[in-house]
């Protein structure tokens, strides 16, 4: 459900801070493949898988599907940016990885299958994707993993901004991977926790330093009044738009009502209605969509996992830089 927002764009103009991106989902490749109504477009399908690209790298021959998808996503993001794969090498590129589900398949295979033949183990599976990516591209800079459910995407964006503003890197790759097919029955057992369709997604954002990244604001709060605490942290500023990245559409609609009572004229987007459930990838998709849907003003991204709310305020100056650059390139 979209309240006052335009349909998903065919392409997003990239600001300087986001110099490249890739997006693969169960709907297809890129923002233009995303439907206006996910439940209607899914036509009863519970899980929409991402097509796995053919792997031509011998080193990745035994890698899991999510590892191959991650490497492909990084390659495509770099191809859409001014940098080359060679620029990723060394200590000045950070990798910030986020996922709430992609390591479940490796853990499930270990528990259910032949443990002696298992490639990844429960304690190492979450590191498999970022490990393969850093090896593939020769990256030796800062590395962080966020696995805290749907909130992980917002946390990843915040920490990437922190790494850049504190000069710990020249660029940061924010990489999100969510896969469901290998554990479809497991996720179906918790269907009341997650709205269908579950949409597999792989996205990579190439973030580069920008002065206004220092104005990115992150807040987290838990408990029944968690959202109220986040609202108080806005210091009275009204966002240009709000993107809700929640685990169920029902929760999203309830949150819309609360926020509209506070900001009746602010467009509020429930990403789950438009895209489906992508968990930690949802805030990354929301950021990409907002780049062209919101021409100016700061944008608020809100997520919730169980009783923990997370909020990220993306500053106006980055968006103004986006519009200016788009006019220059036109």
Specify if 322 maps to a domain: yes
Strands 201-208 and 198-199: unpaired
Residues 118 and 206 in one domain: yes
3-state secondary structure of 119: coil
Residues 223 and 200 in one domain: no
- The pLDDT tens digits of the residues spanning 1-12 come to 445 444 555 444
3-state secondary structure of 19: strand
DSSP state letter for 211: G
Last residue of a domain, one of 210, 225, 249: 210
Q: 96: part of which helix (H) or strand (E)?
A: strand 93-98
Token look-up 């990579």 returns: 204
Specify if 277 maps to a domain: yes
- The whole-number pLDDT of residue 14 equals 47
Residues 321 and 192 in one domain: no
Specify if 1 maps to a domain: no
Specify if 184 maps to a domain: yes
Alpha helices, DSSP H, located in 22-151: 38-42, 65-79, 104-112, 125-137
Specify if 58 maps to a domain: yes
Last residue of a domain, one of 178, 210, 242: 210
3-state secondary structure of 255: helix
Residues 144 and 204 in one domain: yes
CATH number of the domain that residue 130 is part of: 3.40.47.10
Q: At what angle do helices 282-293 and 316-329 cross, to 10 degrees?
A: 60
d(CA 271, CA 283): 9
Q: 168: part of which helix (H) or strand (E)?
A: none
SS (H, E, C) 172-200: EEEEEEECCHHHHHHHHHCCCCCCCCEEC
d(CA 119, CA 127): 12
Specify if 240 maps to a domain: yes
d(CA 216, CA 196): 31
Residues 202 and 223 in one domain: no
- The whole-number pLDDT of residue 161 equals 97
Residues 78 and 30 in one domain: yes
Residue 28's DSSP bridge partners are: 25
Specify if 20 maps to a domain: yes
- The whole-number pLDDT of residue 151 equals 95
CATH number of the domain that residue 239 is part of: 3.40.47
pTM of the model: 0.89
Residues 241 and 117 in one domain: no
- The whole-number pLDDT of residue 117 equals 55
d(CA 172, CA 160): 6
Contact 244, 302 (CB under 8 A): yes
Q: Cβ of 137: how many Cβ atoms within 10 Å?
A: 20
Residues 13 and 103 in one domain: yes
Domain span holding position 120: 9-210
Residues 100 and 54 in one domain: yes
Residues 220 and 181 in one domain: no
- The whole-number pLDDT of residue 329 equals 40
Peptide bond into 145 cis (omega under 30): no
Which segments of the chain have a pLDDT < 70? Answer: 1-15, 108, 113-121, 188-192, 317-330
Last residue of a domain, one of 210, 239, 269: 210
3-state secondary structure of 122: coil
Residues 113 and 177 in one domain: yes
Specify if 3 maps to a domain: no
Number of domains in the chain: 2
DSSP state letter for 65: H
Contact 26, 48 (CB under 8 A): yes
Residues 104 and 252 in one domain: no
């Amino acid at each position: 459900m979209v309240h006052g927002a335009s349909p998903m764009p065919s392409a997003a103009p990239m600001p300087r801070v986001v110099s490249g991106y890739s997006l693969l989902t169960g709907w297809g490749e890129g923002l233009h493949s995303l439907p206006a109504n996910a439940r209607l477009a899914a036509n009863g399908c519970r899980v929409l898988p991402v097509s796995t690209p053919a792997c031509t790298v011998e080193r990745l021959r035994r890698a899991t599907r999510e590892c191959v998808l991650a490497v492909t996503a990084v390659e495509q993001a770099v191809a859409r940016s001014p940098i080359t794969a060679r620029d990723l090498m060394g200590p000045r590129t950070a990798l910030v990885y986020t996922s709430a589900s992609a390591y479940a398949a490796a853990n499930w295979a270990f528990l259910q299958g032949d443990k002696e033949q298992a490639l990844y183990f429960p304690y190492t599976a979450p590191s498999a994707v970022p490990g393969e990516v850093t090896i593939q591209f020769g990256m030796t800079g800062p590395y962080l993993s966020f696995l805290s459910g749907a909130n992980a995407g917002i946390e990843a964006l915040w920490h990437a901004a922190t790494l850049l503003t504190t000069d710990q890197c020249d660029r940061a790759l924010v990489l999100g991977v969510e896969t469901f097919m290998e554990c479809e029955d497991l996720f179906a057992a918790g269907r009341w926790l997650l709205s269908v369709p579950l949409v597999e997604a792989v996205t990579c954002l190439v973030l580069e330093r920008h002065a206004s990244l220092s104005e990115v604001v992150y807040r987290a709060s838990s408990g029944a009044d968690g959202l109220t605490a986040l609202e108080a942290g806005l210091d009275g500023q009204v966002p240009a738009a709000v993107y809700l990245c929640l685990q169920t559409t029902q929760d999203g609609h309830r949150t819309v009502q609360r926020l509209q009572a506070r900001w009746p004229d602010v467009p509020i987007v429930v990403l789950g209605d438009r895209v489906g459930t992508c968990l930690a990838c949802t805030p990354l998709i929301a950021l990409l969509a907002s780049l062209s849907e919101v021409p100016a003003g700061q944008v608020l991204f809100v997520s919730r996992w169980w009783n923990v709310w997370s909020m990220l305020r993306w500053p106006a100056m980055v968006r103004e830089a986006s519009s200016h650059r788009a006019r220059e390139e036109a």
